[in-house]
Amino acid sequence: MRKLGVLIAVAGIGTVVGVGWGFAQQQEEELSAKDYIEINQLYARYNQGVDLRNAEMWLGVFADDGIFQFRDEKYVGQAELTEYRMRTYARTANGPDIRHWNGSIVVTPTADGAAGRAYWIMLDVSSPIPTEVASGHYDDLFVKTQEGWRIKVRTGYSDPRPPLTQ
């Protein structure tokens, strides 16, 4: 009878330890102030890479297997991201001077790194008064690599644009 009691106690302790360990594995890691700063820098470097036509800067914010999705387009990995960026630069070469701005950035820790959301606005600054061209938000997943924080997945969404009225 005593052996049965010990066996039940050991099984109970093992169950509690196993459940506790499993729960701990699902807990989100905490981010340091440095992590938040590095992730916020990704938002800035992404925008400046686009606006200043600096492909190396823009590509540098993505993980090697990073994903960029916008509307019905999806680009996976550095080769596809490079092709997309070069095609976009060529298409907009003679267009207006554009600036991208992010705001209301919220970053939260996840089990695999961090998630973020930011509003974006695109401005045409080629005239004396900047004009809004488009707006929306990004949903991001970040991963910490040997090179630092990088975007693992960026999904961009545009706000609906009402028709112009006269």
Euclidean distance between CA atoms 103 and 94, whole angstroms: 28
In the numeric block, the tokens 């606006």 are attached to 51
pLDDT in tens, 20-42: 444 444 455 799 999 999 999 99
CATH 3.10.450.50 describes domain 30-158: yes
How much of the chain is in helix, strand and coil states, percent to nearest 5? 40, 40, 25
The confidence score (pLDDT) of residue 161 equals: 81
- pLDDT tens digits, one per residue of 88-119: 999 988 888 999 999 999 999 999 999 999 99
Q: What is the pTM of this model?
A: 0.80
Q: Are 124 and 106 in contact (CB under 8 A)?
A: no
